[in-house]
Amino acid sequence: MSTLMKFLFGAVAALAVLILAHIDPAFAQAAGEAAPAATPPAPPPSPINTGDTAWMLTSTALVLMMTIPGLALFYGGMVRKKNVLATVGQAFGATCIVTVLWMVIGYSIAFTTNDSESLNKWIGGFKYFMLKPMTIDAVSPLAASIPESVYMCFQMTFAIITPALIAGSLADRMKFSAFMTFMAAWLILVYSPIAHWVWGGGWLGQLGALDYAGGTVVHLNAGTAGLVCALVLGPRHGLGKENMAPYNLVYSVIGASLLWVGWFGFNAGSAVTANVNAGMAMAVTQIATAAAALAWMCCEWIIAKKPSILGIVSGAVAGLVAITPASGFVDPTGALIIGILAGIVCYFAAVHVKKFFGYDDALDAFGVHAVGGALGAMLTGAFASNAINSLGKGWLTDGNAHQMLIQFYDVAGTFIYCAVMTYIILKVIDLIIGLRVSQAAEVEGLDINLHGEVVQ
Amino acid sequence: MKLVMAIIKPFKLDEVRQALTELGLQGMTVTEVKGYGRQKGHTEIYRGAEYAVNFLPKIKIEVVVPAKMVDKAVDAIVAAAKTGQIGDGKIFVVPVEQTVRIRTGETDESAL
């Protein structure tokens, strides 16, 4: 005990000496700078708009909140008690590993221009390795009125939630080491290139694909990877025989509510400015979400006889997913239709299609996110209104049927590339680390076996 | 002395406690238990996945009473815990050989 006290005292004393040594020159520097400030030179005009910057700082925080704690609780409440910590831990772990890799190379691949014009169709440049060119006053050409540091962070929160969503499919049975490796590889090899294709100046963006906030880049992408994970991993032990009732659906309701609120940062933030588009994106997001929740609820009420709370919140998430690509392009009527269709289609995908095919997409990342994302992308092509956004002309609103074909390329390109790459990544990890925990560990629970902790 | 053991619906606990207190009984032991009788279980459905839950939550009350109080105690529990619906529970009465109050060493009825 006394050794520990001595050690602590020594550490505190050393810290105090260090701080004192630093305070003095710091004061001297401040005094030196204050003197010439009497005749300030005229500052160069800054492209930074403070209103836009304030909104994007807020949006970034909102979207991070979607993953932790939003998605973590949404998924955590749906698994069994023995796997609660492992599940919320996956969202938290993904947040950390993606943050670091986004700084190292992810942002560079996704959102900077490749010097080779032909390569730029597929992948961004590598100059932003370790974010070296991101100086204090850097501005990205993709976000002209805010600091690049804010834009990089905003996009980082999207890069975080996308792989974290996949955890819904692989819940209850994956090794944590394999999961973290998968998150890292998937971010670099799947998310970053696809984000570049659509938003970073790649081939889908050049083609004119409309994806305002990530219907294909985020949701179809994550959901497709989820389906591949569910197929490669195989079903949970005891599926269909054991009781796999959720541990605590209140967590899921809280999580879904945080997702809903955070989604205003996701969709309205994707305007990357605080302008009319952000305002309309917020309005249509709210409308589509509520409509989808009601649609799912009605389906369940009619078919399963009772409107479950899990169903209502699942419908809300389905609506949020489907309005995501459309949010900057459609008017409130379009949003209402998209929401209703999303609630109905995702209900059948998550409840009936899954049962029919028998794959174990444990928490329905595919049924809600891939199906909702693809549906939303196609409906964006149908309902995009030139009156809302000059960049979008839809089929039903403006008679531009060709947009449907472009949206289909977007959906198909994302689906095929993501499915193939995810399969390869999983197979490689399976060879090196192994994907699944032992059956004994799975039966006893991931919390105690992988993390040495339990929820009482 | 008899041990009166009653399995009741959880929301009836307070009424039963009050009824037994009014008889002058000084204590009881309560346990949260699960089980089934004629009520069987129920079915839960989560996104289309149906789970049959066979064991339903119940409350088990254990109270040791002097032999002459048994009928009154049983009647009080029945009156308080009855809803008329299936699943109201059961009461078992078994003999008790000995009772000791640990603090004082008192035994049998004076220890109740």
Q: What gap in Å lies between CA A57 and CA A286, rounded to an integer? A: 21
Per residue in A219-270, pLDDT tens? Answer: 999 999 999 999 999 999 999 889 999 999 999 999 999 999 999 999 999 9
Where residue A170 falls among pLDDT bands split at 50, 70, 90? very high
Chain A hits for B47, CB-CB cut-off 8 Å, are 308, 310-311, 314, 350-351, 364
Where residue B40 falls among pLDDT bands split at 50, 70, 90? confident
Q: Hey, is the C-beta of A246 within 8 angstroms of any chain B C-beta?
A: yes
Residue B58 is part of a domain; what is its CATH number?
3.30.70.120
User: From chain B, which residues contact A within 8 Å (Cβ)?
Assistant: 44-49, 51-53
> Residue A12: pLDDT above 80?
no
Q: Are A304 and B45 a contacting pair at CB < 8 A?
A: yes
Q: Residue B106: which domain range?
A: 2-111
Q: Hey, is the C-beta of A364 within 8 angstroms of any chain B C-beta?
A: yes
> Residue A169: pLDDT above 90?
yes
Q: Which residue of B has its CA nearest to A352?
A: B48
Nearest to B46 among A246, A352, A354 (CB): A246
Tokens 């963006």 -> residue: A205
- B59 CA: distance to closest CA in chain A (Å): 21
Per residue in B75-106, pLDDT tens? Answer: 999 999 999 999 999 999 999 999 999 999 99
Tokens 């390795």 -> residue: A129
Chain B hits for A314, CB-CB cut-off 8 Å, are 47
> Residue A401: pLDDT above 70?
yes
- From the list B3, B54, B1, the residue with the least C-alpha distance to B77 is B3
Rounded to two decimals, what is the model's pTM? 0.86
- From the list A350, A403, A11, the residue with the least C-alpha distance to B49 is A350
Q: What are the Cα distances from residue B87, in Å, to A129, B6, B40?
A: 67, 13, 8
The region of weakest confidence among A6-15, A184-193, A275-284, B86-95 is A6-15
Q: Are B48 and A350 a contacting pair at CB < 8 A?
A: yes
Nearest to A355 among B48, B51, B52 (CB): B48
Tell me the ipTM for this assembly: 0.79
Query: Which CATH number does A50-451 carry?
Result: 1.10.3430.10
Domain count, chain B: 1
Q: Hey, is the C-beta of A306 within 8 angstroms of any chain B C-beta?
A: yes
Q: Are A351 and B47 a contacting pair at CB < 8 A?
A: yes
**In this structure, what token pair is assigned to residue A293?**
């929740």
pLDDT exceeding 70 applies to what percent of chain A?
Answer: 91
Q: Which residue of A has its CA nearest to B47?
A: A351
Please report the beta strands in chain B, taking only residues with DSSP state E, as ranges in sequence order.
2-8, 29-35, 42-46, 49-53, 56-65, 89-95
Q: What gap in Å lies between CA A363 and CA A87, rounded to an integer? A: 11
> Residue A26: pLDDT above 50?
no
